[in-house]
Amino acid sequence: MESNNVHPVQNILGRINEAAKRGDRSATNITLVAVSKTRPIEDIVAAYEAGVRHFGENRTKELAEKAAALSHLPDIQWHFIGNLQTRQSEAVAEHANCFHAVDRIKIAEKLSTQLQKLDRTLPVFIEVNISGEESKGGFECADWENNQEQRDTISHAMRSIAALPNILVRGLMTMAPWTAPEATVRDIFSRLRRLSEWLNSHFSERQATELSMGMSGKDPVGDGLLLSFFNLQRNIHLYLLIK
C-alpha cells in the first residue's frame, strides 16, 4: 500500500463524484466495494480511513477472520463476492452483510435456513451470465431476450429465492470479460439492466432493481464508463481491487 498522504482509492471515489455531477446523478447511486481478498488487515484499515466502507471477500475463512479482527469499525460492511459451496455457507450467513453470487436455488435455501437460526436477514444478488463466457458463473442469460428457456429459468429462480425467509433479493449481478473494451462492457451492463427491468415487470410486489457489476479486471475504470453506469439509472454496486 502506498505511503503517500493520498490513498489511491480516493482518486476513484473522487472520479465517481465527478461522474455523478456530469450525469446529474447522486454519487450515492454507486456503492464502491473494494475487493480486499488476500489483502492484509493494515491495507483494509488504510482504505477504510480513506473513505471506503464496503469490502469484498471471496473466501469464507478470510471473511470470518477479517470480520472478527475489524469488528471495532462500526460501519464496515462485508460483501461476499465469490462462488459459495453449501458446506461453507455458515460463515457467509454469520458474517456477510451482502452476498453477490447466488448462482443456484440450493445455496439460497441453505443460507435461508442458517439465517433463520441466527435471526439475520441477508441482502443478496442473483448472479447471471450475460456475456456467455464459459468461465463465468450464474444463471445462463446470454440470450434471454430470444430464449424462452433462459427466461423461464431466471424467472423461476427469482421467484423461488425471493420467497425464502431471511433472504432479501436486491437485484442482479454479472461479471464483464476482464479484457473487454469499454463498449462491450457498456453493452453487457445495459443488457443486465434490461433483464432487471423485464424481471421486475413480472414481480411488481417485490422490486429488486439494484445491479452488482464485477469489474475486477477494469481498474481503474474509465470516466466514460463511470458516467455510463450513472446513465443506467440504477443503484449499482461496483467492485474494484484494492491497490
Is residue 98, in this structure, part of any structural domain at all?
yes
Is residue 55, in this structure, part of any structural domain at all?
yes
Total number of domains in the chain: 1
CA–CA gap between residue 60 and residue 79 (Å, rounded)? 11
Predicted TM-score (pTM) of the model is 0.88
19: domain CATH number? 3.20.20.10
Is residue 151, in this structure, part of any structural domain at all?
yes
Hey, which residues does 212 pair with through a beta bridge?
173, 237
Is residue 22, in this structure, part of any structural domain at all?
yes
Cell output for 58:
471471496
Cell output for 200:
421486475
Cell output for 10:
480516493
Q: Give me the domain span that covers residue 118.
A: 8-241
φ, ψ of residue 40 in degrees (nearest 5)? -70, 165
Is residue 122, in this structure, part of any structural domain at all?
yes
pLDDT value for 1: 47
The beta strands (E) that lie in 67-190 are given as: 77-80, 98-102, 122-129, 139-140, 167-175
Is residue 1, in this structure, part of any structural domain at all?
no
Is residue 24, in this structure, part of any structural domain at all?
yes
CA–CA gap between residue 136 and residue 105 (Å, rounded)? 17
pLDDT value for 3: 47
Please say whether the beta carbons of 95 and 115 come within 8 A.
no
CA–CA gap between residue 106 and residue 126 (Å, rounded)? 12
CA–CA gap between residue 196 and residue 171 (Å, rounded)? 7
Q: Using CB atoms within 10 A of its CB, is residue 40 exposed (0-12), middle (13-18) or buried (19+)?
A: exposed
Please say whether the beta carbons of 240 and 216 come within 8 A.
yes
pLDDT by 10-residue block (mean), the chain, 243 residues: 64 80 77 88 92 92 97 95 93 97 97 98 96 90 97 96 96 82 83 92 75 64 58 66 50
Is residue 3, in this structure, part of any structural domain at all?
no
